[in-house]
Chain A
Amino acid sequence: MRILLIDDEAELVSTLAERLSIRGIDADWVCSGKDALKKIEGASYDIAVVDIKMPKIGGIQLKRMMAEKNPGMKFIFMTGHGSEADFRAGSEEAGADYYLVKPVDIEELMTKMKEVLEK
């Protein structure tokens, strides 16, 4: 399983990537939509875990752009913003495979990543 984590909070995604690698997951991370698009040019990922609120290219827009380049990729959205109900509705509308509210529970993330890939 190869994962790309995308969030403008570098400390968050770098630490999350390290925790996933301890669990045997191959995880890369970037801090912007622009870098994410560059990253998928040179490598393929099974799942992108994307923060919904990011400067310049937001998560929903980024999902559309990444899905165009890599139609098989799955998407998990995460946010620390707004109510969970609003976020869930927005994620579903954008076609996310799952959504997480920060702070992220890594065991939930692990479980959902497996489920999303088995779908």
Chain B
Amino acid sequence: MNKQWEIVGNEGFRFFGKMNASISHEVKNILAIINEISGLLEDLTSVVEKGVPIEPERLKALAGKIQQQVRRADGIVRNMNTFAHTVDEAKKTVDVGEILAFMATLSGRLASMRGVEVQVTLSEHPVTITTNPFLLENIIWLSLDFAMGLANEEKTVRLIPEADEGGAIIRFTGLKAIPADQASRFPADGENALIQALGGKIALDQDIREIILCLPETHEQ
């Protein structure tokens, strides 16, 4: 295996692990909430047994809260399943806007932990490319991770897909002035190996304070 693909492989494992850890943390929180609500229902039953009446509305509200958490877990597990199946096809025609929206959702908790919001500004027409979806998600995550660390005072990183002659451009905006020591760290070996595997280009533009990914319309690996 050559060096570039070894890096791509290692980055992929790291990315998969990071997302899975975040998802499992969120699911564990949901289980903890359901555990507390069911515990409260048990407590209320003991209270009723001691002769203190409980309003049926109170019980209905608690049942509603459990259903709400089940819906939340269902959404998370659905995203986890979509993410797991990204590796099924090494080449696929994808809507870049949809992938960005998915990545914004998938990394929502990680962004929130850093006090950052991730927004996607969709273009009027879908921007499609034929590429390796997992590698694309990986490079989007690495770029987003770096961008979140440089988010300006608005604390909102915007992902903007644009059609470009012969492919697509993804812009990561909402960055503050980039300190020289940080600028020299991006793109690092991981980003370079991934963008090379995707046949694209990556740049950190310090003048306009953006990360820019250029991706070809079709890439033969």
Binding site for B on A (CB under 8 A): 9, 11-12, 15-16, 18-19, 22, 53-56, 80-82, 102-104, 106
Contact = CB atoms under 8 A, between A and B. Distances in A.
Interface stretch (B24-32, B123-131, B132-140, B188-196): B24-32
Given A18-B40, A19-B39, A106-B39, A9 B25 contact: no
A72 B138 CA distance: 47
Interface stretch (B79-87, B110-118, B157-165, B202-210): B110-118
Contacts, number: 58
B74 interface: no
A103 B43 contact: no
B47 interface: yes
B36 A81 contact: no
Contact of B32 (A53, A54, A102): A102
A55 B114 contact: yes
B113 A55 contact: yes
Interface in B29-86: 29, 31-33, 35-37, 39-40, 43, 47, 65, 69
Is the contact region of chain B dominated by helix, strand, or loop, or is it mixed?
helix
Nearest to A51: B29
B29 A9 contact: yes
Interface size class of B (residues with CB under 8 A): 20 to 34
Contact of A9 (B33, B113, B115): B33
Nearest to A11: B33
A9 to B, nearest CB: 5
A104 B32 contact: yes
Contacts of A53: 25, 113
Contacts of A81: 21, 25, 28
B43 A11 contact: no
A16 B39 CA distance: 9
Taking each of B31, B33, B36, B43, which has the highest tally of chain A beta carbons within 10 Å of its own beta carbon?
Answer: B36
Contacts of A102: 28-29, 31-32, 35
A80 B29 contact: yes
A12 B37 CA distance: 8
Contacts of A103: 28, 31-32, 35-36
B35 A104 contact: yes
Contacts of A54: 113
Contacts of A18: 40
Nearest to A54: B113
